[in-house]
Amino acid sequence: MEEITVTIDDSQELIEVTAVDGQESITATTLTVGDMRRDVYDSNGNGIVDMSEDTQLFGGFTLAFLQAFLLSRTNHTGTQLSSTISDFASAVSSLLPSEFTEVVTESGATRTLSASDNGKIIRYTNVGGCVVTIPDTLSEGFTCLHAQKDSTQVSFITSGSMVLVNADSHTMTAKQHAIACTLVEATNIVNLNGYTG
């Protein structure tokens, strides 16, 4: 891959281009009078350089090559604030399912998860707690958050071939205001994580 560094020194009206091609490097600096000086190529001082795309620059590079290289995002190694990228927020939002912002309340004593619960936050308000069944019909990648809003824990069981796993062998939320997550990490394997007990 070729690397090019362009340095513009307004005080000296000089442009320095360093090109690295494989193991060889070429460095050329405008040291001669009138060579790439601003008053020669930008006599109007408006920032518009009077060169054609075929203009030969340092090391045999053409203006067209430099423009293509500098504009290619594959050659950008720095960082950029997402707020400075046009349409970034709307593009990302369009990729996220709307369910990520949906909060639903479960006031019953039982609930069986379904595909439509993917990405939802479920608030459990039943005084006696709730038993949540996780069926083997849920696809890999299914994710759901569970918030225990009352004093009684929310417990999780499976049906069919689904297997529940947890780092500490827990099967329920820890206590009031705890939030747990169910993630189907592989076919018929659901991981219960978060504040569990």
Contact between residue 146 and residue 191 where contact means Cβ atoms under 8 Å apart: no
The torsion angle over the Cα atoms of residues 64, 68, 69 and 70, rounded to 10 degrees, is 100
CA pair distance 197, 190, nearest whole angstrom: 16
Model confidence band, residue 65 (pLDDT cutoffs 50, 70, 90):
confident
CA pair distance 190, 192, nearest whole angstrom: 6
Of 43-52, 78-87, 183-192, the one with minimum mean pLDDT is: 43-52
CA pair distance 181, 154, nearest whole angstrom: 12
pTM: 0.52
SS3 of 104-167? EEECCCEEECCHHHCCCEEEECCCCCEEEEECCCCCCCCEEEEEECCCCCEEEEECCCCEEECC
Q: Which domains does the chain have, with CATH numbers?
A: 2-77 (no CATH), 97-194 (2.60.120)
The torsion angle over the Cα atoms of residues 94, 100, 105 and 110, rounded to 10 degrees, is 120
Model confidence band, residue 33 (pLDDT cutoffs 50, 70, 90):
very low
Model confidence band, residue 69 (pLDDT cutoffs 50, 70, 90):
confident
pLDDT of residue 111: 97
The distance from CA 53 to its chain's CA centroid, rounded to whole angstroms, is 36
By CB atoms closer than 10 A (0-12, 13-18, 19+), residue 99 is: middle
Model confidence band, residue 186 (pLDDT cutoffs 50, 70, 90):
very high
Per-chain mean pLDDT for the chain: 75
Query: Which residues share a beta bridge with 124?
Result: 106, 148
Tell me the backbone φ, ψ of residue 101, rounded to 5 degrees.
-105, 5
